[in-house]
């Protein structure tokens, strides 16, 4: 197995997947994939902080903070002072943010089925998921 070919295929697939899902979400729900990712994390993380978003997306805190600022300006999220840590704030979805997240969910799921479930067997997809999990755990220790 040629590692460079694996790398090239992985990077190209990720780029094609991102672009396709981003386009689908914008067409069907009016939000980008990046926006959907942040809304999803805020929805699923109790007392969500910018640091939580950064960790889950593997981006810098500064990048996550800028993403939240853009969503606040669009009225999709709001920041509230953390009750016990004055240096931190809690990020919450607004009603508009929750509506956008809920509206985008079916389009996102449709895209995932198209790109993952339809072309490969459940067994192959499970093996791929297992391999990605092992690689991400190994990367976390570096």
- Quick one: pLDDT band at residue 81, thresholds 50, 70, 90? confident
Q: Are 76 and 43 spatial neighbours (Cβ–Cβ below 8 Å)?
A: no
- Using CA atoms, how far apart are residues 124 and 121, in angstroms rounded to an integer? 5
Q: Long-range pairs for 129-137 at CB < 8 Å and ≥24 separation?
A: none
- Using CA atoms, how far apart are residues 125 and 1, in angstroms rounded to an integer? 19
Q: Where are the domains of the chain?
A: 3-113
| CA angle in degrees (0–180, nearest 5) for 11-69-74 | 95
Among 46, 103, 39, CA closest to 67: 39
Decide if pLDDT at 19 tops 80: yes
- Using CA atoms, how far apart are residues 12 and 90, in angstroms rounded to an integer? 35
Q: Are 77 and 92 spatial neighbours (Cβ–Cβ below 8 Å)?
A: yes
**Predicted pLDDT at 142:** 86
In tens, the pLDDT along 93-140 reads 999 999 999 999 999 999 999 999 999 999 999 999 999 999 999 998
| Bridging pattern class, strands 77-81 and 89-93 | antiparallel
Provide the terminal-to-terminal Cα distance of the chain, rounded to the nearest Å.
23
CATH of domain 3-113: 1.10.10.10
**Predicted pLDDT at 84:** 83
The pLDDT of 41-63, averaged and rounded, is: 96
């Amino acid at each position: 197995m040629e590692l460079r070919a694996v790398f090239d295929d992985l990077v190209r697939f990720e780029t094609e997947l991102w672009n396709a899902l981003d386009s689908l979400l914008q067409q069907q729900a009016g939000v980008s994939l990046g926006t959907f990712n942040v809304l999803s994390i805020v929805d699923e993380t109790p007392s969500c902080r910018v640091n939580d978003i950064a960790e889950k997306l593997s981006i810098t805190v500064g990048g996550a903070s800028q993403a939240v600022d853009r969503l606040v300006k669009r009225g999709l999220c709001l920041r509230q002072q953390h009750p016990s840590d004055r240096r931190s704030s809690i990020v919450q979805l607004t009603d508009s943010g929750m509506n956008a997240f809920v509206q985008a969910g079916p389009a996102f799921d449709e895209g995932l089925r198209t790109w993952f479930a339809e072309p490969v067997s459940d067994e192959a997809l499970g093996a791929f998921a297992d391999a990605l999990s092992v690689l991400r755990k190994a990367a976390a220790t570096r």
